[in-house]
């Protein structure tokens, strides 16, 4: 099974309400570029889950427009969620729900990717970074990194 992990695009500076921060124009362009560069791989995605925060919803909407899939808002995808909670939810999903694309924040995206791959902090997740991992079981140390694309 494959899992795609996407960190939201570059967002406005924080002036109080972190959940309400929107993408910048640069952030929108970077997300669209990553989608374009990985269009072949992303074409297999069956579902898009996104954090409820504005910038992740906007990021997911860009991906949704490329893939023609709806966005499912998943509260577990906020940045400070314990990665194990998300792994438990992934493990509950039927195999035909994959490949699945998660759109989220730091530190969750970095902890999830590196935890799944058992790689410490080896794989950084900057804004608009997109990773693809494969595994038969969604548990720490059980996935293999297929590729990691950073925004240019």
What phi and psi values does residue 4 have, to the nearest 5 degrees?
-105, 135
User: Residue-wise pLDDT tens for the chain (152 aa)?
Assistant: 999 999 999 999 988 889 999 999 999 999 999 999 999 999 999 999 999 999 999 999 999 999 999 999 999 999 899 999 999 999 999 999 999 999 999 999 999 999 999 998 899 999 999 999 999 999 999 999 999 999 87
Rounded (to 5) percent helix, strand, coil in the chain = 40, 20, 40
> Which range of residues forms the domain containing residue 123?
2-149
Q: Which residues lie closer than 8 Å to 95 by C-beta, 6 or more apart?
A: 1
How many structural domains are present in the chain?
1
CB-CB neighbours of 88 under 10 Å: 13
CATH number, domain containing residue 139: 3.40.50.1240
- pLDDT score at 87: 97
Q: Give the pLDDT score at 102.
A: 98
């Amino acid at each position: 099974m494959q899992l795609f992990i996407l960190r939201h695009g570059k967002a406005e500076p924080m002036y109080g309400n972190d959940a309400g921060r929107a993408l910048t124009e640069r952030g929108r362009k970077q997300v669209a570029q990553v989608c374009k560069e990985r269009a072949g791989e992303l074409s297999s995605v069956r579902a898009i889950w996104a954090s409820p925060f504005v910038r992740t919803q906007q990021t997911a909407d860009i991906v949704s427009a490329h893939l023609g899939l709806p966005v499912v808002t998943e509260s577990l995808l906020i940045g400070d969620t314990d990665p194990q909670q998300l792994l438990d939810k992934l493990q509950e999903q039927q195999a035909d729900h994959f490949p699945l694309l998660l759109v989220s924040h730091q530190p969750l995206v970095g902890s999830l990717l590196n935890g799944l791959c058992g790689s410490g902090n080896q794989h950084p997740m900057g804004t608009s970074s997109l990773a693809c991992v494969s595994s038969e079981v969604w548990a720490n140390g059980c996935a293999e990194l297929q590729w990691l694309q950073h925004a240019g």
